[in-house]
Amino acid sequence: MSARISPLFDALLAEKGSDLHLSIGYPPLGRIRGKLTPLREAPLTASELEGMLLELATPEQKLQITEELDLDFAYTYGTKARFRANYFYKTTGLAAVFRCIPSKVQSLEELSAPEVMRQLAERRGGLVLVTGPAGSGKTTTLAAMLHHLNQTRYASLLTLEDPVEFVHEPAKAQVTHREIGPHAPSFAAGLRSAAREDVDVVLVSDLSAPDAIREALQLASSGVLVLASMYALSVQSALERLLHAFPEQEQGRIRGLLADSLAGVLSQQLVRAADSKGRVLALEVLLGGGSVAAMIRQGQEAQLAELMRAAQTKGMQTLDQHLERLVSANAITPEAALEKAQDREAFALTLQRLRPGFELPEDVRA
């Protein structure tokens, strides 16, 4: 007998949606090509939604949502997909969001990923940060990088996730999935354990707590490749968030570790495609070493954007530079690009040069 939520999962998958939002008093909403879209007209009732959600939960999970008012777990929907589920309470009662995790891990080629992603995945050590806002494809990017390694390198690969999302079947590599909670008490504990497990590559799904950051930097500086996800809107904000997680008296040591171990930062955004049939990856790229390491040691993160602008031949770029190229290639519209631009006033002038008839929004008009 299928679960009561199955028709909604099927509707979301049929539309190639990314998220399913369920709240009492609202119709089920799917995020389709970046926009929330009703999947039916009738709103969800309290009894309908509670029955739908609690049917998927184990007794332990039901206890957690009752006591802690929040629950994260992964749910496998047959052979069609996996979902990362978040249950929570709001003013109207129990609610949930399901993020779709495709059953098949996409390759870097299938993602049309730039060459720099493959190069960073093939590093033999160091820290690679993949940053961006929620829903920007960070998990998909990291999974594709790990998939590439699994297909091409005899190595020991470890993932530390909360919860486990993409499941990688071993190819050339040995792949170990550990979930925070059932398999390790915290990301920091999992990283400490990894240092004793002879791993070559560690994927960390959330690098935000100071103790986890410290362990990741030490592991990366010891010759392990650490691929980590972090919420941040730019390369500069990612590095500042990482550094400012520590008290001032410790920042000097952390700066040294970061300067020595940083392999690169990929800060990504998904932008609505010009044909409205999907979304396009826009990427800001910083590569570690050399001048970048010196700037980090000296606390000059504010100068990194200028360095990225000047180092395109080395594979670096700012987000606005990539947005400009995407507009020039007609992959995205000027309006969609301007929504994501970091320096909107400067980018508006760029758009006027690229599209002389483009009318500026009021908030960026001179």
Q: Rounded to an integer, what distance in angstroms lies between the CA atom of residue 91 and that of residue 73? A: 22
pLDDT, mean over the chain: 93
Angle, helices 248-261 vs 235-243, to 10°: value is: 130
Quick one: which of 132, 145, 326 has its CA closest to 237? 132
Q: Rounded to an integer, what distance in angstroms lies between the CA atom of residue 144 and that of residue 168? A: 10
Residues 6 or more apart whose Cβ sits within 8 Å of residue 273: 33, 279, 280, 331, 332
pLDDT at 147: 97
pLDDT at 210: 96
Q: How many Cβ atoms from other residues are within 10 Å of residue 356's Cβ? A: 7
pLDDT band at 339; cut points 50, 70, 90 = very high
362 pLDDT higher than 80: no
| Residue spans of beta strands (DSSP E) within the chain | 19-23, 29-32, 35-38, 70-77, 81-90, 93-102, 126-132, 156-161, 174-179, 201-204, 225-231, 262-272, 279-287
Report pLDDT digits (tens) over 178-196.
999 889 999 999 999 999 9
366 pLDDT higher than 70: no
Domains of the chain with bracketed CATH? 6-102 (3.30.450.90), 115-346 (3.40.50.300)
1 pLDDT higher than 80: no
Do 211 and 250 touch, CB atoms closer than 8 A?
A: no
| Residue spans of beta strands (DSSP E) within 209-343 | 225-231, 262-272, 279-287
pLDDT band at 87; cut points 50, 70, 90 = very high
Q: Which tokens belong to 205?
A: 């799904």
The more confidently predicted of residues 43 and 279 is 43
Distance of CA 186 to the CA centre of its chain: 19
For residues 4-27, give the mean pLDDT: 95
Burial of 353 (0-12, 13-18, 19+ CB in 10 A): exposed
User: What φ, ψ does residue 203 adopt, rounded to 5°?
Assistant: -105, 125
- 6-11 CB contacts, 8 Å cutoff, 24+ apart: 6/77, 8/39, 9/77, 9/80, 9/81, 9/83, 9/98, 10/80, 11/39, 11/40
Q: Rounded to an integer, what distance in angstroms lies between the CA atom of residue 337 and that of residue 360? A: 12
pLDDT at 154: 96
For residues 188-215, give the mean pLDDT: 96
3-class DSSP state of 154: coil
Report pLDDT digits (tens) over 296-332.
999 999 999 999 999 988 999 999 999 999 999 999 9
Position 5, amino acid = I
Q: Rounded to an integer, what distance in angstroms lies between the CA atom of residue 190 and that of residue 212? A: 9
Q: Rounded to an integer, what distance in angstroms lies between the CA atom of residue 269 and that of residue 283? A: 6
Quick one: which of 316, 314, 294, 297 has its CA closest to 305? 316
